[in-house]
């Protein structure tokens, strides 16, 4: 995912943009919704790749499941790192994005 897609998901999750500070403001519910949107995007991307016959792995069974889980973990980590890199001017906003990254990483552990 690129930064534009992540910003769009932030908007969809209900995060408000503060024009004067040029930052997104989020509460815990917004961050949880954001993490769910990221997970859905990752799952949709994986299914798109997986259902394309040219992208299917040659092995099936456990290897396929492990491959799928690894791909999802890698995509979650990439999303979390992108969120952590969002520049903010206030400590509270940076803490919110770190919290969002933590929730993205935790999605597979629930």
- 28-52 tens-digit pLDDT: 888 888 888 888 887 777 776 666 6
DSSP string, the chain: --HHHHHHHHHHTTPEEETTTTEEE--HHHHHHHHHHHHHHHHHHHHHHHHSGGGS-S--THHHHHHHHHHHHHHHHHHHHHHHT---SSHHHHHHHHHHHHHHHHGGG-
Q: pLDDT grade, residue 3 (50/70/90)? A: confident
Q: Is the pLDDT of residue 88 over 70?
A: no
Q: pLDDT grade, residue 110 (50/70/90)? A: low
- What local confidence, expressed as pLDDT, does residue 28 receive? 83
Distance CA 108, CA 79 (A): 13
Mean pLDDT of 63-82: 78
pTM of the model: 0.47
Distance CA 52, CA 89 (A): 43
Residue that has been written with the tokens 């992108």 in this structure? 82
């Amino acid at each position: 995912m690129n930064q534009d897609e992540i910003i769009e998901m932030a908007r969809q999750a209900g995060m408000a943009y503060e024009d004067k500070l040029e930052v997104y403001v989020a509460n815990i519910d917004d961050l949880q919704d954001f993490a769910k949107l990221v997970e859905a995007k990752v799952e949709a991307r994986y299914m798109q790749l997986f259902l394309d016959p040219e992208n299917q792995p040659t092995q099936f069974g456990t290897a396929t499941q492990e491959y799928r889980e690894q791909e999802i973990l890698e995509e979650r980590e990439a999303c979390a790192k992108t969120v952590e890199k969002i520049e903010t001017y206030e400590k509270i906003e940076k803490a919110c994005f770190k919290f969002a990254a933590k929730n993205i990483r935790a999605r597979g552990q629930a």
